[in-house]
Copies of this chain bind each other. A is one copy, B any other.
Amino acid sequence: MKLWLIGAYGIVSTTTAVGGIAIEKGLVDRTGLVSELPQFNSIDDYVKLNFKFGGHEIRDLEGNFYSAALMHWEKNKHYDFNILNEVKNDLKNIKARKGTALMCGTGIEEFGEIKTLEDDELSLREIVDKIEDDMRRFKDNETVVINLASTEPVHRFNKKYHESVDGFERMIDEDEKKYASASMLYAYAAIKNGIPYGNFTPSVGSSLPALKKLALENKVPHVGNDGKTGETLIKTTLAPMFLYRNLKIVGWMGYNILGDFDGKVLSHKDNKESKIISKDSVLEKILGYSPYSITEIEYFPSLVDNKTAFDFLHFKGFLGTKMKFYFIWDGIDAIVASPIVIDIARFLLFAKKRGKYGVIKEMAFFFKSPMENRVINTHEQFYQLVSWFREML
């Protein structure tokens, strides 16, 4: 597998790279990888767990995957240092390519000094050409692009440029930068070049009608949006039980705190909005009604990547009596996200090899806001994934 990661020097990307290589080398076991469950046993006949990495970045372009991984490790110590040490040589020769941050909102300021293609006064067409060129040099038949960049502000749909492939091309040719966000450009470049694409963020990515059409034309599988990892994973596991038991949720509070760049970017109102929308709609989809709900994400620097969620459920049972349920999720974002990144890439390659393309909606299990699939109940999603996999064989 060759993974091209957007946001290559972020903590999720580098943890994915460290983990992928460590697994290939037999340094660690495969805990956390869904594709390694007995149900998906034969996936290994299609997509082996061997890895090459590359990607786009806008920070620290002097550095490499190792220096970036080390920086995150120093702040988080989120796995045994020996592992990082053992993959050092594999990582230090991998350098990210300069990318774009178009329409990425004010949150981007938090990264300090950044370098983007648009800063070099390139036109949209030139930016896209550069991105495609980078991807083409990297790609082979086993390549996937995964978007792991920070959350963009909510996308404003423009019929003229976002509806059709032609419109999208025209947007590029007319250099209409204000309609083009980074995530859609990367998705476009991948799909145009026949590379499966996964959107791990709530950014727009490949969800534009234009790009969905392009994926069908080019027979490219793609998935998204927004990796389901922490609080929402628990929420979509628990909420169905209240439905089954005919217990009425009268209020659900979800309060998330995290530090790190992710927390900093999300402390910007425009960037946060996308995330909240993605998290917030799950209850209505599961329960069939919208209980009063609070969904908040706040910056808490000392936690760094240790995302903590505080949830409170107020529910009504028999005879109208109210009862309470509380949970605290004390997870490490990169540790829960990274194996899923590998899984998404692996299932996308499996789909490709089995001749599937367009939105692979049976991969909803991995996402908070799965494209073209209203199933959000974690259990139902898992069954969908298992059944689909069986059918594909």
A204-263 interface with B by 8 A CB criterion: 233-234, 237-238, 240-241, 244-248, 250-251, 253, 255, 257
In the assembled complex, the CB of A391 is this many whole angstroms from the nearest CB of chain B, namely: 19
Q: Chain B residues near A327: list those with CB within 8 A.
A: 325-328
Chain B CB within 8 A of A18 CB: yes
B244-A32 in contact (CB<8A) = no
- Interface size of A by CB at 8 A reads 73
Copies of this chain, tallied across the complex:
4
Rounded to whole angstroms, the CA-CA distance of A246 and B39 in the bound complex is: 11
B37, B247, B253: which contacts A257 (Cβ < 8 A)?
Answer: B253
B320-A314 in contact (CB<8A) = no
B326-A241 in contact (CB<8A) = no
A326-B318 in contact (CB<8A) = no
A324-B330 in contact (CB<8A) = yes
A56-79 interface with B by 8 A CB criterion: 77-79
Given A237-B241, A327-B326, CB of A300 within 8 Å of CB of B253: yes
Chain B CB within 8 A of A30 CB: yes
In the assembled complex, the CB of A186 is this many whole angstroms from the nearest CB of chain B, namely: 24
Chain B CB within 8 A of A114 CB: no
Q: Produce 1/0 per residue, A70-95, CB < 8 A to B.
A: 00000001111101000000000000
Q: Which residue of B lies closest to A308 (CB)?
A: B312
A312-B80 in contact (CB<8A) = no
Chain B CB within 8 A of A36 CB: yes
In the assembled complex, the CB of A85 is this many whole angstroms from the nearest CB of chain B, namely: 12
A31-B335 in contact (CB<8A) = no
B320-A29 in contact (CB<8A) = yes
Rounded to whole angstroms, the CA-CA distance of A294 and B250 in the bound complex is: 26
A332-B323 in contact (CB<8A) = yes
Chain B CB within 8 A of A46 CB: no
Most chain B beta-carbon neighbours within 10 Å: one of A36, A300, A308, A365 = A300
Q: Which residue of B lies closest to A244 (CB)?
A: B382
Q: Chain B residues near A15: list those with CB within 8 A.
A: 318-319
Rounded to whole angstroms, the CA-CA distance of A325 and B338 in the bound complex is: 19
Chain B CB within 8 A of A355 CB: no
Q: Chain B residues near A18: list those with CB within 8 A.
A: 319
Chain B CB within 8 A of A154 CB: no
A29-47 interface with B by 8 A CB criterion: 29-34, 36-37
Q: Chain B residues near A32: list those with CB within 8 A.
A: 245-247, 317-319
A378-B241 in contact (CB<8A) = yes
Chain B CB within 8 A of A321 CB: yes
Chain B CB within 8 A of A336 CB: yes
In the assembled complex, the CB of A103 is this many whole angstroms from the nearest CB of chain B, namely: 29
Q: Which residue of B lies closest to A321 (CB)?
A: B335
Q: Produce 1/0 per residue, A126-153, CB < 8 A to B.
A: 0000000000000000000000000000
Known: A32-B247, A251-B302, A253-B257. 4 other contacts (CB 8 A): A244-B382, A310-B312, A321-B332, A327-B327
- A-B residue pairs, 6 tightest by C-beta: A32-B318, A379-B379, A79-B319, A250-B302, A324-B330, A237-B241
Give 9 A-B contacts (CB < 8 Å), ordered by A residue: A19-B319, A31-B246, A31-B247, A294-B298, A310-B310, A317-B331, A326-B327, A327-B327, A327-B328
